[in-house]
Structure formats: structure tokens, C-alpha cells
């Protein structure tokens, strides 16, 4: 992987420098992965000489299992996630512009019989200083304030995140969720609650069901009366046609699948232009992408299957 992509980049010098360092780290780690793995294994064994090593992850049988973790693991995850966008920006420039409407949620914590806190890994990350006090990253500018993401009440969290996304609709370049169900749930939420959302936008008021004080404080800073936006939302949502609703409300979002063929250079193909019988390579930024709506799998083994576009 070359650090200099040769592609034009509209990024600021600071962002370019950050990307160059990330790509250089990837180059160093992948140049001789065997040596890197040996070094990491040596560090693990030397630091945990008296530790019992489990031969199973404990995640089989389809049941939720508790996995111990340490603070250093969050450092490692944060580093790995920071490498994703610099690579993607080589092929899809401009990802450092605008904002992302990502529906992110926390879940309730429990305790083990021994008194240790147990919670989903994403909840652990969102509640950590790694997320709360994260440095500015042009690739991860969210429309949702931390207060909305960290609210344990699912309705209040979703309502505030959706409202913020609507208010910043022209700035939104990316819409998504960690899991497919999260994005589908967000669209269903919009279907059920758009009248109240439009009412709040029209009058600059906040739904009385939003009682979380942190959300109230942050929403009062951004929520202003906007009758034109309220009329637009009513027009788009009041009918039966919800096809392509994401790009209708957030017109600057991009959705594409990269296509590779043997007789032409790589090119980006919109999902609406996918052709039956051709093979396509889908880029997934993380293994978790296998569970996401955007991770559509095209199977050339099914010649009679017609790809469909869903937003």
C-alpha cells in the first residue's frame, strides 16, 4: 500500500498529515506481519506469565457470554478504527467533509456476582473518555450530541438524534448505524413520529416526552423555529411513498458499491445500476459490516436473483 495515492485531495494539511501517518503505520504493520505477531505474542506472554489462557472465546451456542476486557483494549480499538477512513479516503475523496448522521445507542449495565460491571462493548466505549473526550476528527463529525447518544432511554435518544439529523439535513453526507436493525428502526421511528418532529421544528419547541436534562440543554442550543423545514418534512413523510426516503430528506448522502472487472479499472457503481450476471466486490470497513444494511452481498451463483436497492 503506497502512502502517496496520487489522487487529488481537498483535505486540509492537518488532515493530510494525519492520514499519511495512519497509512504509514499500516504499511509498517503489514510489511512483515509475522514479525509483528511474534512481538505482540511475546509481550502478551511476558506481561501475563501467571495467567490462565482460555482456548475458547466463549461466544458459541448463540448465547451472550461475558468477556473480560481492560482499558488498553479501548486504546487498541480506537487506534484500529482511526485507520479505516484514511484508507477509504484514498478511493472516495471528500469523506472528511460534512457530518454523519449515525444512530448510536447505549444499553443498561448489569453487574456480575463478583461486582464487576458488565455491559455491551459499544456501551462501554461510548461511556468511556475515549468517546466522551475524543479529539476532533473530520471523518467522525456527528450530528448527534453526546447527551443524545448516552441517554439510556431509547425513545429520548432516538428522538433527539433524529431531530438533530433533520435540522442539519444539508450537512449530512453519511447516514448509518452500527447494525442493520438500528438503521431500519430509525426509519420506522421517523414514520411513526414525523408529525411531532415537524411540530418541534416549526415552533422551535421540544417534545415534552424528552425529560432528560442533558438532552434538553443541548437541544435548546440548536433548535430554532424553521417553518420551511417543517413543511418539507411534512411533504416528504405524509404520503405512502417512502422509497429512497434517505436521499430525499438528506440529499447529499452517498450510497455506492465498488465494482471490479477484469477488462476495466476499478470504478464506483451506484446500487441502482448493478446488473444481473456481473460480479461486484463490496468494500466492508470492519468485520462488523457483515451485519450492516450497507453490506449487501451480490452472489454470482444466483443468476436469476435480481438485486434490489433499499434505503
Residues 125-143: pLDDT tens digits?
A: 899 998 999 888 888 899 9
Residues 6+ positions from 164 with CB-CB distance below 8 Å? 101, 143, 144, 145, 148, 219, 222
Per-residue pLDDT of the chain (311 residues; tens, 9 = 90+): 333 333 334 555 556 888 889 899 999 988 999 999 999 899 888 888 887 777 666 556 666 677 778 888 888 888 888 888 888 778 777 778 889 999 999 998 888 888 888 888 889 889 999 899 988 888 889 999 999 999 999 999 999 999 999 999 999 988 988 887 889 999 999 999 999 999 999 999 999 999 999 999 999 999 999 999 999 999 999 999 999 899 999 999 864 333 334 444 555 566 557 677 776 655 555 544 444 333 333 333 334 444 444 43
In the chain, DSSP finds a helix count (H) and a strand count (E) of: 12, 6
What domain range includes position 108? 97-254
**Closest among 102, 120, 101, 100 to 110, alpha carbons compared:** 120
State residue 224's pLDDT score: 95
Specify if 125 maps to a domain: yes
Alpha-carbon distance of 155 to 157, in angstroms, equals 5
Query: Do 186 and 75 share a structural domain?
Result: no
Query: Do 91 and 30 share a structural domain?
Result: yes
Which grid cell is 279? 460480479
Query: Do 78 and 162 share a structural domain?
Result: no
**Closest among 200, 201, 197, 171 to 186, alpha carbons compared:** 197
Render 70-125 in DSSP notation, one character per residue: -HHHHHHHHHHHHTHHHHHHHHSTTTTSSEEEEE------EE-TTS-EE--HHHHH
User: ∠ CA(225), CA(231), CA(232), 5° rounding?
Assistant: 110
Query: Do 194 and 225 share a structural domain?
Result: yes
Query: Do 142 and 19 share a structural domain?
Result: no
Alpha-carbon distance of 20 to 5, in angstroms, equals 10
Query: Do 242 and 189 share a structural domain?
Result: yes
State residue 269's pLDDT score: 63
From start to end of the chain, where are the E strands? 99-103, 110-111, 117-118, 172-177, 257-261, 264-269
Q: What are residue 111's DSSP bridge partners?
A: 117
Query: Do 246 and 302 share a structural domain?
Result: no
Domain boundary, last residue among 207, 232, 254: 254
State residue 69's pLDDT score: 80
Where residue 118 falls (left for φ over 0; alpha for ψ -120 to 50; beta otherwise) is beta
Specify if 48 maps to a domain: no
User: What's the pLDDT tens digit per position in 213-224?
Assistant: 999 999 999 999
State residue 82's pLDDT score: 84
Query: Do 165 and 249 share a structural domain?
Result: yes
Query: Do 91 and 21 share a structural domain?
Result: yes
DSSP 8-state assignment for residue 141: -
Alpha-carbon distance of 183 to 185, in angstroms, equals 5
Total domain count, the chain: 3
**φ, ψ for residue 257, nearest 5 deg:** -130, 130
Amino acid at each position: 500500500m503506497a502512502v502517496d495515492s496520487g489522487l487529488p485531495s481537498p483535505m486540509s494539511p492537518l488532515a493530510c498529515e494525519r492520514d499519511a501517518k495512519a497509512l504509514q503505520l499500516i504499511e509498517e504493520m503489514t510489511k512483515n506481519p509475522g514479525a509483528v505477531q511474534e512481538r505482540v505474542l511475546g509481550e502478551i506472554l511476558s506481561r501475563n506469565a501467571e495467567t490462565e489462557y482460555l482456548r475458547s472465546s466463549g461466544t458459541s451456542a448463540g448465547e451472550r457470554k461475558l468477556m473480560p476486557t481492560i482499558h488498553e483494549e479501548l486504546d487498541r480499538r480506537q487506534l484500529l478504527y482511526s485507520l479505516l477512513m484514511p484508507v477509504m479516503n484514498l478511493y472516495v475523496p471528500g469523506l472528511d467533509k460534512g457530518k454523519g448522521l449515525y444512530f448510536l445507542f447505549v444499553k443498561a449495565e448489569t453487574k456480575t456476582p463478583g461486582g464487576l460491571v458488565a455491559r455491551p462493548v459499544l456501551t462501554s466505549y461510548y461511556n468511556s473518555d475515549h468517546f466522551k473526550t475524543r479529539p476532533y476528527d473530520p471523518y467522525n463529525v456527528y450530528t448527534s450530541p453526546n447527551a443524545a447518544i448516552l441517554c439510556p432511554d431509547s425513545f429520548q435518544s432516538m428522538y433527539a438524534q433524529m431531530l438533530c439529523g433533520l435540522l442539519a439535513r444539508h450537512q449530512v453526507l453519511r447516514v448509518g448505524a452500527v447494525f442493520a436493525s438500528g438503521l431500519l428502526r430509525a426509519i420506522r421511528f421517523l414514520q411513526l413520529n414525523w408529525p411531532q418532529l415537524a411540530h418541534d421544528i416549526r415552533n422551535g419547541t421540544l417534545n415534552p416526552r424528552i425529560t432528560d436534562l442533558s438532552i434538553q440543554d443541548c437541544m435548546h442550543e440548536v433548535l430554532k423555529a424553521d417553518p420551511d423545514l417543517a413543511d418539507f418534512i411534512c411533504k416528504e413523510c405524509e404520503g405512502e411513498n417512502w422509497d429512497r426516503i434517505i436521499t430525499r430528506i438528506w440529499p447529499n448522502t452517498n450510497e455506492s458499491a465498488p465494482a471490479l472487472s477484469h477488462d476495466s479499472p476499478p470504478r464506483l457503481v451506484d446500487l441502482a445500476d448493478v446488473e444481473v450476471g456481473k460480479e461486484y466486490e463490496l468494500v466492508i470497513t470492519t468485520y462488523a459490516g457483515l451485519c450492516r444494511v450497507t453490506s449487501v452481498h451480490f452472489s454470482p451463483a444466483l443468476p436469476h436473483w435480481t438485486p434490489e436497492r433499499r434505503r
